[in-house]
Amino acid sequence: MNVAYEIGINLVSGAIGAGIGVFWTFGRNALKYRRQRAFWRFLEKPTVLVVGDLAPEVLLETLADSLEDTADTQQDRQSIIEQVLTHLRNQEISGLIGRGDLDAMARILDRIGSTRSLLRPSVVHPSHVHERRTRNLILIGGKDTNSLTRIIAPRMGCQLESSIDSDGHSVIHDSKLGKDYKVARDGAPNAQGVALRTDYGVLARGRNPFNPDSQVLILAGAHGLGSLAAAEVCLNKKFEKRLHNDLLQFDGNFECLVSYEQVDGGPDDGKVTIDLELSRSLQLPSANR
C-alpha cells in the first residue's frame, strides 16, 4: 500500500514537473517572440531597404594630403586624383559598396526571409527611393555612403553619426558628448602575433520624419564593420532584452553606439566581439514630440 502510494506520488510529481517545464519553456519562448516582434513589427507593412555606395570622391577626399611627397604642386596632385577618379568610375559603373554594408544588408534580409509574417522589403539605391521615402525605411550606411541617411538622421534627432575627424579619419561622432569614437587597426602584431581591428557603428530607430506613421531603422558604421555590428546587435539574442527595454523606455525613438572588434593572428585569430556600448533617447525636434 505504502509502496504503491509512493509510486503514485512520484508519478504525479513527475507529471507536474514535466508540465511546469513545458509551460516554462513555452512561456520563455513566447516572451522572446514578443520581444522580437515588437522590434520588427514595422516590417509587417511595406518597407524599403536603402543601401548606398562608396562615392570615389569620398574615398579620395584626403588623398591630396598623402600625395604631398609625390607631387610638388596642388595642381599636380589634383591631376593625379582626377585620373584615379576616372579609373575607379570605369572599373565599376554600377558603383562600389563596402563589404561590411553588404554583409549587413544580407544579414537583415536573411532574418526577414526566415519569418513568414514579415514582408520582404524592396532594396533600392538612395537615388531611386523618391516618393517611397514615406514608407518604413531601413537605411544601411552613414551619410558618406547613403544620402538618405544624411537627410533623415538629423531630422530624427540622431546625435551619433558617422563622420570624418580633423585628421581625415573615419569616426563615430557624438554631438551630445562632443566625443569621437575612432576606428583603430594595429599596424603590426604584438609579441604574441596579435593585432586588433576596432570599428564603431550606430543603430537608431524612430519615426520617419516624412511620415509619423512609418518607422526608420538606421544601421551605419564609421566603416563597414560598424554597419555590420549594428545589424548583428539587431539580430543577436544576446541584445534582445536590452533592445526591447530601450524600445519601451524611449517610446520607440532611440539610438545606440555599437562596437566591433576583431582579433587578427594569435590563438584567437578571427575572433569577433560585438557589443552595445550605450543607448539613449533621440533628441526629437520639438515639432515631432
| Least confident segment among 23-37, 109-123, 144-158, 254-268 | 23-37
- For residue 140, how far is the Cα from the chain centroid? 7
Number of independent structural domains in the chain: 2
- For residue 183, how far is the Cα from the chain centroid? 15
DSSP 198-242: EEEEEEEEEEETTEEEEEEEEEEESSHHHHHHHHHHHH-GGGHHH
Say if residue 32 is in the same domain as residue 60.
no
Residue 268's contacts (CB-CB under 8 Å, 6 or more residues apart) are 194
pTM above 0.85, yes or no: no
Tell me the average pLDDT across 34-53.
Answer: 84
CA distance 133 to 137: 7
Is residue 195 packed enough to be buried (19+ CB in 10 Å), middle (13-18) or exposed (0-12)?
A: middle
Say if residue 12 is in the same domain as residue 125.
yes
pLDDT single digits (tens) 159-182: 999 988 888 788 999 999 999 999
Say if residue 180 is in the same domain as residue 83.
no
Say if residue 146 is in the same domain as residue 201.
yes
Say if residue 132 is in the same domain as residue 172.
yes
**pLDDT of 4:** 61
Say if residue 91 is in the same domain as residue 229.
no
**pLDDT of 97:** 75
Say if residue 66 is in the same domain as residue 131.
no
Tell me the average pLDDT across 198-219.
Answer: 95
CA distance 83 to 284: 44
In which domain, by residue range, is 266 found?
Answer: 2-53+97-288
Residue 40's contacts (CB-CB under 8 Å, 6 or more residues apart) are 112, 115, 118
**279 band by pLDDT with thresholds 50, 70 and 90:** very high
Tell me the average pLDDT across 195-221.
Answer: 94
Q: Looking at residue 161, which CATH number applies to its domain?
A: 3.30.379.10
Give percent of the chain with pLDDT exceeding 70.
75
Say if residue 169 is in the same domain as residue 91.
no
